[in-house]
Amino acid sequence: MITGKNYIGNTLSALGSKTYTTFNPQKNTENTIVFTEATSDEINDAALLASKAFQTYSKKSGKDKAVFLRAIAEEIEALGAELIEVYTSESGLPTGRAMGERGRTVGQLRAFAAHLEEGSWIAASIDTAQPDRQPTPKVDLRKMLVPLGPIVVFGASNFPLAFSTAGGDTAAALAAGCPVLVKSHPMHAGTGELVASAIIKAAEKTGMPNGVFSNLNSSGIEVGQELVQHPVVKGVGFTGSIRGGRALFNLAANRPEPIPVFAEMGSVNPVVILPEALQEKAADWAKTYAGSITLGAGQFCTNPGLLIAIKSNQLHQFSQVLAEEIVKVEPSCMLHPAIVGAYESNKAHVVSQSGIEVLAESSQEIKGNYGRQIVSKVEGKMFLENPTLHQEVFGPFSLLVQCEDKQQLEQVVKQLEGQLTGTIIGEGEDLFNYKEVVSALQDKVGRIIFNGVPTGVEVCPSMQHGGPYPASTDARFTAVGVGSIKRWVRPFSFQSWPNNLLPEALKNENPLKILRTINGVKTTNKV
């Protein structure tokens, strides 16, 4: 049952007077449950509970934390049909997507559990003493990763499950040993509360300390600001707009004690289509991209918002087929009236720019919060001169940049901002002939794709999700995959510490049987 209250640790609380509801974009009506925004006192209580919980939670074994993460996954599954219904009623997304995203969410939790059970992620390193070394003896040093402290996670509008309450950021932080304070996303506060209740249940069942998790309702920016500025908070995870992410980054950087912010923000995910590929497969790629651009109403952070190619008859064919195909796709419901509104106004702003030619825009009859997909075209020269065209339009939108020649193509790629992904479509000698273009694209992105689409972010160790600014605020980390745990830990060294008082990971006996570095060599041996 959804109460509309906050979870301050294990306790439901609604002391505030500011309330709000969520919205059903399919029915174009407000949902009925009233949510109470967290007050400053509740925020402070949650933060202090998290700080206290850190004292014990940070010392839990990997196996204990894995039990907790697996229990969260089970409790989320146990929410059953209610979760799916609330999810669709708050997002306008279809049931299939809700179920897929739930699967991804519990899959992530279990992947982190397995990562903890295996245990080598902790990067244990041991350098043994050499008391007789000349001119000075060498001391015994042992290093491992330890958690940072309480982490604030901001729910994302476009992933009510997989990048929200128990999403990737939360799973990674809990796996690391950090308590989590979630700033619930106002568009899906009910989904958030349900998932929060699952986490709390799991925490209680597995004996985790009160305060290891809190869920704070919020309809504006104040709750998030207070959380990021709270002295006990040691890190921030965010998925959303550049404006929002940068604002939080600035707040965190200006604290007396600055803290790291990992914000995964905007991206136009440029796709470079090379000449031989156009020669051989223009129509095929046009059809594929009509699908990728409109997938999930274009509301994925890896949506291909920019297609770049050199002018040719084949490119003309590509743009014609793309125009034909894209209007065949049924328009989809977007997440919220505010998102439809922003989409329509950003789209209109781009289309009004000098030199923009609309190739096709859906003209089907649509319901209230549906977004009409559009593809348009611009000359390379105009693109280079107009920074507005480099910005993300969140929704089923893509802009084809038609370059004069190879040189202009390279120039366009070099002028792009940082991106989550870049894609190269090529055949035959394309990759060889355009290696400068490929190299320039690599400098701009976190993931480069060959002959595919950027949508679809596989959760696996080799995935990089995050790229040079403004794709993310710190390209040295990923937001997807078990490697994302590294955002919330720091290396810590013990010098000459008694073996019996060392953490298990660093003991001579290697009781965890993990892979460690001993005197520079990787091994599972004892010392």
Which residues participate in catalysis according to the annotation? 264, 301
Question: 173: closest CA among 260, 251, 83, 250?
Answer: 260
Angstrom distance (rounded) from CA 295 to CA 526: 51
DSSP reduced 3-state for 213: strand
Measured from the CB atom, the residue of 365 and 458 that comes closer to a second copy is: 458
DSSP reduced 3-state for 46: helix
Measured from the CB atom, the residue of 68 and 488 that comes closer to a second copy is: 488
Measured from the CB atom, the residue of 219 and 455 that comes closer to a second copy is: 455
Q: Least Å distance between CB 87 and a second copy? A: 19
Q: Least Å distance between CB 143 and a second copy? A: 4
Element (H, E) at 73: helix 62-78
160 in Cβ contact with 182 (< 8 Å)? no
355 in Cβ contact with 379 (< 8 Å)? yes
Tokens of 502: 């060392």
Residue 120's CB: how many other CB atoms inside 10 A? Answer: 16
Q: Least Å distance between CB 274 and a second copy? A: 13
155 in Cβ contact with 96 (< 8 Å)? no
Measured from the CB atom, the residue of 20 and 494 that comes closer to a second copy is: 494
Contacts of 332 (CB under 8 A, 6+ apart): 294, 296, 297, 370, 371, 396
Angstrom distance (rounded) from CA 88 to CA 90: 5
Q: Least Å distance between CB 149 and a second copy? A: 8
Q: Least Å distance between CB 5 and a second copy? A: 32
Backbone φ/ψ region at 457: left (φ over 0), alpha (ψ -120 to 50), beta: beta
170 in Cβ contact with 195 (< 8 Å)? no
What DSSP string describes 288-345? HHHHHHHGGGG-STT---EEEEE-SHHHHHHHHHHHHHHHHSPPEE-S-HHHHHHHHH
Measured from the CB atom, the residue of 296 and 337 that comes closer to a second copy is: 296
Measured from the CB atom, the residue of 13 and 292 that comes closer to a second copy is: 292
Q: Least Å distance between CB 130 and a second copy? A: 10
Angle at 97 between CA 340 and CA 478, to 5 degrees: 85
Measured from the CB atom, the residue of 46 and 438 that comes closer to a second copy is: 438
User: Contact positions toward a second copy, by CB under 8 A?
Assistant: 55, 120, 125-127, 136, 138-139, 141-143, 146, 148-149, 249-250, 253-254, 257-258, 260, 418, 431, 439, 442-443, 446-452, 456, 458, 460-464, 466, 468-470, 473-478, 483, 486-487, 489-498, 501, 515, 517, 520, 522
Q: Least Å distance between CB 44 and a second copy? A: 18
